[in-house]
Structure 1
Amino acid sequence: MTSGDGTRPGTIRTPDQRLRVFVSSTLRELEAERRVARASIERLRLAPVMFELGARPHPPRELYRAYLAQSDVFVGVYADSYGWVAPGEQISGLEDEYRLAPREMPKLIYIRHSTQRDTRLDALIDRIRDDDTASYRSFTGTEELAELVEADLATLLAERFDAGRDAGGTTATTDPLAARIPSPFTRLIGRDRAVADVLDLLGGGQTRLVTLLGPGGIGKSRLAIAVAEAASEMYPDGTIFVMLENVLEPDLLLPTIGYALGIRDTAEVPLERRLALALEGRRMLIVLDNFEQLVQAAPVLVQLYTIAPDASFLVTSRSILRIRGERVYDVAPLATHDPASPASVSRALSSAAVELFVERARAVKPDFELSASGGAAVVGICRVLQGLPLAIELAAARMRVLTPESILRRLDKQLPLLVDSSRDLPERQRTLRSTIEWSTGLLRESERELLFDLGVFSHGFTLESVEELGAGRAWEGTAMDGLAALVDSSLVDQQDIDGESVFSLLSTVREYAVGELRARGEDQRMRAAHARLYAALALREAPRLGGPEQRAAVARLNLERSNLRSGVRHLIFMEDFATASTVAWRLYLYWWIGGYLSEMALWMQEMLDRGGGDTPFARAVARYYVLWKEMFGTQTPTAVDGFCEVSDLFAEAGEAMGSAMALATAGLAQITAGDADFDTAAERLWRGAEGFRAAGARWGEVLILVALGRLEWLRRRDDDALAMFQRALDASLAAADEFTATVAAHHLARALLRGGRVEDALRVYIEGMAGSVALDNDEGIAYSLEGLCSIAALDGDVERAGVLAGAAAAIRKRTGQYDAPAFVFHTRDLEPLATGPTGAALQAAIDRGREYGAREAAEYALAGVRERAAGATTTPPVSRPAARAGT
């Protein structure tokens, strides 16, 4: 007799490789019987394989065939009904399952007493009675059935154990491939490149051990199955797949591998010797799945290099093994967007994460289709869940009762929503919480404490910030080693950005960590410490923002921009309005460069609403940001008077530069709002310039020179506007301030283009684009795109003009940073192309451009124009207007 997995009787599996028992019956008729059969199977620590427990992305026949292919024992429970016969089929699924069970698979059949059994079921039972591979018994009730199933399975296991005894004790009489590659229940999505990469590592001949590393739920085991299947030609002696999820003692590692090979551990011959004999000369792949709880036993694998010199090892683990010969492959989350255009929803709809969600949603809701609004919500779900496959599957399972939009709304608290996975998964993978708890349970106490404290960080933080947060904590002074352990355990992600290590937690891990802090009553204390930490960082970097160190300061702040923003937000929540307003004002240039002025306006309005304007300085800062948004958003005429009042408030607070900025902005507001009193606007701007000069803030002077140039533009004094913009650019270059240089360059290029000097304008736009990209300044990129759009339109290049216009519009919409209508001219240059035969082509190009990301659009814009610009004449010095007294 052979076993259900095709091996001879010598194979006895340890608990980590539980026998799988396929249960066949009608569903509704025998619901109670199926329930007790399952309980009996689980009491013996075996794995029930039952049709209704799995997802159904495939036709039923394909699904139960896959279930049977990975099962070891067939249990049939029959009563009255023969079962449903599907259209086009000749027999029911019940009979088909029995026919499909391999002849060598043990079959235990239980027949309930009946007086009204279907004729076709009687015929099937008669066939079973004649089958010498099947055992059948009758029963009357569920209690009797439970006893029969449990007793018969126990006897079957004992018989297999006895049959496995051999006299020599060297190797069992078994097929060496006893531990088959598990049959996957679902299609692998988004991992083609990963499979190819791992095969390359294994196939190079130099790698003995590849570790698939990643957090729980990332899909390591599924990837390992795919690699093992794809590697069959590389390993002529086959693959064994050893599941270690229930093996907790390091001493059981070698015996477990031995059992998978059909080798029993006896005292007669050392296990290592028997393994060496069994593996001698075999070129095979040994897959060790879920190794993280056995990392202390990792050195044993080095012994296997000698014992099995022709074998390769593929390990899945949440922790690095840190042994010789190990090559680590980080299993990444599924893509949730097109990296070239992260904000594009239409491109994200074809991402692997969305594909997975849709497939799993259809498994529980077959008629699910992506609608326009539903598609955007699904993209949002996948982004919130950061492409984590298990989290996406759990969210998709909620589609039976929720819409994508309602799931997305509930994801602000993820862990309670993401529960109830398939019952045949290990307990530690049935919810994200249990998955995370499994990982944290493998940490030292100090590492757990560190992880929980890291929950207060937003995405992206540095070792320096963690060390500062550790003051007074139990893990103080051990941040580097603790972070390394958490990274090795796949609970913290590490990336290299511009030569710096930046760390992040998955949002699900962060929520779990904050929950632990809250349970201990420490969450507010740690959030306050986090807010103070980033306030200190802001004040350290602020002095470098206006001048030659600007790019370095922006880069440093960008590393932790999410934490900076959440820090300011929490300062307001704590009602530390003095610190919040100080940070908000000192980082004024950074918020502008990063496109966060509208966001700051919202926070400052909240601060005012909470009573945070009780000092002149705090009120001045808050009102300045709110008025700024009004000036470029609704263009409220009262903004001019408001900025004048803010200037007085700053002066009252002793903030001279703030007073100068507010006064100058009042002048700018007059220009933006189209106020005809240009003389008053100019007066305020010049006074603001004097204030900046007195404060030594050259960047402020440059911005005021640009504003004065805009004023001359509105007065139709084109030569004076051109001269003022050139003067602003020269001043910014002298001050080595890249940001104000890009602002001045964009305005200068506009003036050149308006004056018909297209080639010179093109050169300046390219310079402005380069500076904006270097500073990660999307508004500056939009200005360059609009200018280059005008040039393309003048050339009659419909495709190029449309794409650039669409890309610029998308940036404006996303950042909320718009220019005053009087200074928007690229739309007028598009008008001739928008009419007549080119209108449809232009609109199609604009629509395509809206899907471009900022960097992608910048690359597109510059492609092919640099060579043209190289032939442009050098812009000659322009005449400057007479210097005003004191300037």
Structure 2
Amino acid sequence: MRVHDVHMTGVGRPVIRTPDQRIRVFVSSTLRELAAERAAVREAVEAMLLAPVMFELGARPHPPRELYRSYLAQSDVFVGIYGASYGWIAPDEGVSGLEDEYNLAPPGMPKLIYVKDVDTRDERLRELIARIQSDDTAAYLHFADAAELGERVAADLAMLLAERFDESRTADAGAPELDEPTVPRIPVPYTTTIGRERDIENVRALLARGTDRVVSLIGPGGIGKSRLAIEVARATEDLFPDGTYFALLEGVLEPGLLLPTLAYYLGIRDNGEAALDERIAHALTDRKVLIVLDNFEQIIDAAPVLVRLYAAAPSATFLVTSRSVLRIRGERVYEVPSLSTPPGDQPAKLDRTTRSAAVALFVDRAQAVKPGFDVTAENAADVADICRTLEGLPLAIELAAAKVRLLPPAGIAERLGRTLPLLTATVRDMPERHSTMRATIDWSVSLLPDEQRGMLSDLGVFATRFTFAAVEALGAERGWGDQAIDGLAALVDSSLVKQIDIDGRAVFSLLAMVREYAIDRLKAEGDADVVRAAHADYYAALVARLAPGLGGSSQVEAVVQLGLDLPNLRAAVRHLIYTDRLDDAGDFAWSLLIYWWISGFFAEVRVWMLELLEKQHEHPITQRTRAIAWFFALWGEMWQRPSEQVVAGLGECVRLFTEAGDEDAAAMALAARATARVQLSDIDVDKAGAELRDAVARLRAGGNAWAEAITEVSLGRLAWLRGSTDEALAHFARASAVADEHGDLFTASVAGNLRSRLNFTLGHIDDAEEEFVRTLILSVRLRYDEGVAYGLEGVCAVAAARGEAFRAAALAVAAGIIRQRIGIFDVEAFTVHTPYLEILRGRDPESVAAGESEGADLSMREAVQLALPPEAYADLHGALHRW
């Protein structure tokens, strides 16, 4: 059957959204049997800039059933790949996950089914395929191998989308436009929140008063502080019209990383040119925002930093989750209670409407693994005992409920009653509920086979989230390695590991309490350093594979990939330093120089490198590593506190790199030293220019095109400041040419913005406009906020020069909003749009005022649309919606 012959059920034919809406393609298959085919389908889907939704653990009814049910509900197309195997049937289930996924796919969802030509096929799979053949809601096609499958999927999706796109243009002209997709600032809970209605109301009331600068949700691990913070953030969005930001501090262990982490979640790029606290304060000025800081107890010593921040940004409010009170001025403490349990020795209520919150949570989580479970007269007393024994701790209850598939409530209650007091006694030095939570995790883990217990301990080295490929690499030399898939599936089943989807990629995570427990076990077993080393080696290999693309045509893809793995890149550096592999840590940090630069992470790299330098007295390092560490340590000083000492320090980096035989790094350090000279009050222009030209020659000879181009930009800026505009234009042109030749979007955007501004000041309006448009497009594709702000300002300047008062004013305000949000200060020497806008304000104040009012309400997408010609904006639809 051809795709366009498919007839859908329901009222009319469903209209598929256009590609710029980031269509999600749910892929169902057996994992091991069809690994090559899955890879081919993923490649085909991603090549069309769509989002593949794929489960690394394969199709299994319990407990991922609720997870893939929710993913199916959010997906747009169902792709089924069937070979010889029907797949695993879970206990107490009648169908495999493979069939379950097909059954759960919404009736109106387009279904593309691909059946591999094989000699034999499981009987149950033959029956499923026969049913699909008779189902007029699915397209059914055969294929021979992975290559053919990839081609078929790409062609069929293209045809399907083209057809539905035509329909979308005529369907229901009165229907409202789809909302612009945005990356959620507040995490999305994957299970229902139960029993927190009153707490949400109470915390909302505290935030609504506006008298408390910091509201701290305090309680032991596992009591549900993070979940409550998520729900409060959602329930108070109306109180904070300028936004809510959720900063995960789970993998942040050094107090010095609070500001860099907060800047990351606020979208502030740290290029080192201004102190982060200043940038953050600038970004928050006059903005009524809520900032959630989750898991603050790990960096409690950084609490005074919050006082500085809220003093500098009085309209910002902080909601903190922590096991410990922060004890700072302006803090209001809210003790997070445990969930209510059945009173006395009474059984759980059979009536759902009168159950305690703890019982309701137990039933909800039990039903996720055993559909149909409920409180009955026979198990009511046992369910109540479980909830009371676990003191109403949500995480403890979830772990116990996950065992319902294996044990009846009576068995769970009996084992808890027998073992939990003994386990709790071993952790008496902890607060009562904290020891109960730890003991519950211990009990849950004790029911696992040895290999799965070992696997959980090893997973503790990961930060925040990780992929199955990383798990496989970690297990290569571990006892559980050959059971990685089944072991990870069992840990998901036990609610000890969570499986989520990020941009179509299946990733896994541990809750903070479980990660803490896991790493403690790993240390107790004496394997912590070994597993940390394996973790660091995997991510070092990942960086080695991706880093070469950062300076060229793979720049965008590499930046996105590294961003997804950023928490573990941080952890890898930490592991290398902790295990005294200091030279490896230096290599790791240096290989990502371009990524730190583009994404703006210099402040946190500086923290690691200073720690490295402190350890060199006990563990000698090479001259090259010393040069790397000093380079990163001096970068911020060069911009924020320039001095002759900084210039001398960077000169020492040049010497150390040279003596170590790294001429490429020496040339980059030379360029940095010249840039440091330019920051001094008494600038030696000739010396700085000579050093920059020397650096360019060395970098060109060494083939480092990215560094060559960025250094040409520095030469252009220096020439502009000297008033040598022709020379500046020539340097910007060379930088653009080198960047374009190698596919370096970042440097092309930076150089293009500067050249277009200079052309504008020289009166070359048409040339300036052409390049403003080009660099704006580049910045959008790179997801480079600062470049977008510069591009909008550039087009604003052209519009103002041509008398387009409304458009110019709207773009100026929209650019200003972006600048404030990312904490970028204006550099007066390179500002070109404000003088012309002021002239228009005198000539046509009404149009300027109307434009400024409009600009304040523009989204980034709308601002870009206002700035660009229609044909240019059309090409950016996908990039803007995926941002």
Instruction: Give the TM-score taking structure 2 as reference length.
Output: 0.52
Q: Are the structure 2 counterparts of residues 838 and 692 from structure 1 closer, same or farther at C-alpha, using a change threshold of 3 Å?
A: same
* Alignment partners' CA distance in 2, 1:354 and 1:808: 37
Aligned residues: 545
Q: Are the structure 2 counterparts of residues 719 and 584 from structure 1 closer, same or farther at C-alpha, using a change threshold of 3 Å?
A: same
Letter of the structure 2 residue corresponding to residue 546 of structure 1: G
Residue 802 (structure 1) aligns with = 813
* Alignment partners' CA distance in 2, 1:678 and 1:447: 64
Q: Are the structure 2 counterparts of residues 363 and 744 from structure 1 closer, same or farther at C-alpha, using a change threshold of 3 Å?
A: closer
* Alignment partners' CA distance in 2, 1:369 and 1:538: 42
Post-superposition CA distance 1:457-497 (Å, at most 9, x none): 12343332221111221211232343445556663324264
The question of whether the paired residues in 2 share the 8 Å contact of 1:354 and 1:379 is answered with no
Letter of the structure 2 residue corresponding to residue 721 of structure 1: A
Instruction: Provide the alpha-carbon RMSD of the alignment.
Output: 5.3
Consecutive unaligned residues in structure 1, runs of 5 or more: 1-209, 222-293, 306-311, 313-321, 327-337, 397-402, 872-887
Q: Indicate which of 758, 763, 770 corresponds to 2:777.
A: 770
The question of whether the paired residues in 1 share the 8 Å contact of 2:200 and 2:231 is answered with no
Q: Are the structure 2 counterparts of residues 713 and 861 from structure 1 closer, same or farther at C-alpha, using a change threshold of 3 Å?
A: same
Equivalent positions of 1:28-47 (< 5 A) are none
SS at match of 2:501: strand
Q: Does 1:298 align with 2:93?
A: yes
SS at match of 1:724: helix
* Alignment partners' CA distance in 2, 1:839 and 1:385: 53
* Alignment partners' CA distance in 2, 1:212 and 1:528: 35
Residue 340 (structure 1) aligns with = 182
Q: Indicate which of 841, 845, 867 corresponds to 2:870.
A: 867
Residue 551 (structure 2) aligns with = 546
Q: Indicate which of 658, 663, 667 corresponds to 1:651.
A: 658
Letter of the structure 2 residue corresponding to residue 297 of structure 1: D
Q: CA deviation at 1:685?
A: 0.6
* Alignment partners' CA distance in 2, 1:357 and 1:755: 66
Q: CA deviation at 1:681?
A: 1.3
Post-superposition CA distance 1:441-467 (Å, at most 9, x none): 676553443333223212343332221
Letter of the structure 2 residue corresponding to residue 732 of structure 1: A
* Alignment partners' CA distance in 1, 2:624 and 2:826: 28
Q: Does 1:433 align with 2:396?
A: yes
* Alignment partners' CA distance in 2, 1:431 and 1:621: 46
Q: Are the structure 2 counterparts of residues 352 and 752 from structure 1 closer, same or farther at C-alpha, using a change threshold of 3 Å?
A: farther
* Alignment partners' CA distance in 1, 2:850 and 2:189: 27
Equivalent positions of 1:227-626 (< 5 A) are 296-299=91-94, 340=182, 359-361=197-199, 368-372=206-210, 389=227, 409-410=296-297, 420-423=338-341, 424=356, 425-426=358-359, 427=387, 430-436=393-399, 438-439=401-402, 445-486=450-491, 491-495=497-501, 497=503, 500-518=505-523, 520-611=525-616, 614-626=621-633
Consecutive unaligned residues in structure 2, runs of 5 or more: 1-58, 71-88, 101-106, 108-124, 133-179, 235-289, 300-320, 325-334, 342-355, 360-386, 403-443, 875-883
SS at match of 1:297: coil
Q: Are the structure 2 counterparts of residues 479 and 706 from structure 1 closer, same or farther at C-alpha, using a change threshold of 3 Å?
A: same
The question of whether the paired residues in 2 share the 8 Å contact of 1:762 and 1:788 is answered with yes
* Alignment partners' CA distance in 2, 1:779 and 1:214: 43
Post-superposition CA distance 1:299-334 (Å, at most 9, x none): 2999xx9xxxxxx9xxxxxxxxx99899xxxxxxxx
Letter of the structure 1 residue corresponding to residue 812 of structure 2: A
Q: CA deviation at 1:623?
A: 1.7
* Alignment partners' CA distance in 2, 1:771 and 1:380: 45
Post-superposition CA distance 1:717-771 (Å, at most 9, x none): 2232222212211122223333322222222222233233444434323332333
Post-superposition CA distance 1:71-112 (Å, at most 9, x none): xxxxxxxxxxxxxxxxxxxxxxxxxxxxxxxxxxxxxxxxxx
Q: Are the structure 2 counterparts of residues 631 and 391 from structure 1 closer, same or farther at C-alpha, using a change threshold of 3 Å?
A: closer
The question of whether the paired residues in 1 share the 8 Å contact of 2:296 and 2:322 is answered with no
Post-superposition CA distance 1:758-798 (Å, at most 9, x none): 44434323332333343344443444344345446654332
Q: CA deviation at 1:541?
A: 3.0
Q: Are the structure 2 counterparts of residues 777 and 514 from structure 1 closer, same or farther at C-alpha, using a change threshold of 3 Å?
A: farther
SS at match of 1:422: coil
* Alignment partners' CA distance in 1, 2:547 and 2:293: 41
Q: Are the structure 2 counterparts of residues 354 and 651 from structure 1 closer, same or farther at C-alpha, using a change threshold of 3 Å?
A: farther
Residue 379 (structure 2) aligns with = none
The question of whether the paired residues in 2 share the 8 Å contact of 1:483 and 1:492 is answered with no
Q: CA deviation at 1:686?
A: 1.0
SS at match of 1:477: helix
Q: Indicate which of 628, 639, 646 corresponds to 2:635.
A: 628
The question of whether the paired residues in 1 share the 8 Å contact of 2:772 and 2:794 is answered with yes
Q: Are the structure 2 counterparts of residues 793 and 646 from structure 1 closer, same or farther at C-alpha, using a change threshold of 3 Å?
A: farther
The question of whether the paired residues in 2 share the 8 Å contact of 1:377 and 1:408 is answered with no
The question of whether the paired residues in 1 share the 8 Å contact of 2:810 and 2:852 is answered with no
Equivalent positions of 1:111-150 (< 5 A) are none
* Alignment partners' CA distance in 2, 1:354 and 1:633: 47
* Alignment partners' CA distance in 1, 2:597 and 2:665: 15
* Alignment partners' CA distance in 1, 2:207 and 2:791: 40
Post-superposition CA distance 1:389-416 (Å, at most 9, x none): 47868999xxxxxx99999644879689
The question of whether the paired residues in 1 share the 8 Å contact of 2:225 and 2:336 is answered with no
Residue 885 (structure 1) aligns with = none
Q: Are the structure 2 counterparts of residues 748 and 509 from structure 1 closer, same or farther at C-alpha, using a change threshold of 3 Å?
A: farther
The question of whether the paired residues in 2 share the 8 Å contact of 1:758 and 1:791 is answered with yes
The question of whether the paired residues in 2 share the 8 Å contact of 1:217 and 1:389 is answered with no
Q: Are the structure 2 counterparts of residues 753 and 449 from structure 1 closer, same or farther at C-alpha, using a change threshold of 3 Å?
A: farther
Higher relative contact order (CA 8 A, sep 6+): 2
Q: CA deviation at 1:593?
A: 1.7
Q: Does 1:707 align with 2:714?
A: yes
The question of whether the paired residues in 1 share the 8 Å contact of 2:809 and 2:852 is answered with no
* Alignment partners' CA distance in 1, 2:480 and 2:189: 40
Q: CA deviation at 1:661?
A: 0.5
SS at match of 1:575: coil
Residue 699 (structure 2) aligns with = 692
Post-superposition CA distance 1:49-92 (Å, at most 9, x none): xxxxxxxxxxxxxxxxxxxxxxxxxxxxxxxxxxxxxxxxxxxx
Q: CA deviation at 1:654?
A: 1.6
* Alignment partners' CA distance in 2, 1:792 and 1:350: 41
The question of whether the paired residues in 2 share the 8 Å contact of 1:660 and 1:691 is answered with yes
- Aligned identity (percent) is 34
The question of whether the paired residues in 2 share the 8 Å contact of 1:353 and 1:392 is answered with no
* Alignment partners' CA distance in 2, 1:711 and 1:447: 60
* Alignment partners' CA distance in 2, 1:751 and 1:482: 60
Q: CA deviation at 1:582?
A: 1.0
Q: Are the structure 2 counterparts of residues 507 and 365 from structure 1 closer, same or farther at C-alpha, using a change threshold of 3 Å?
A: closer
* Alignment partners' CA distance in 1, 2:560 and 2:675: 29
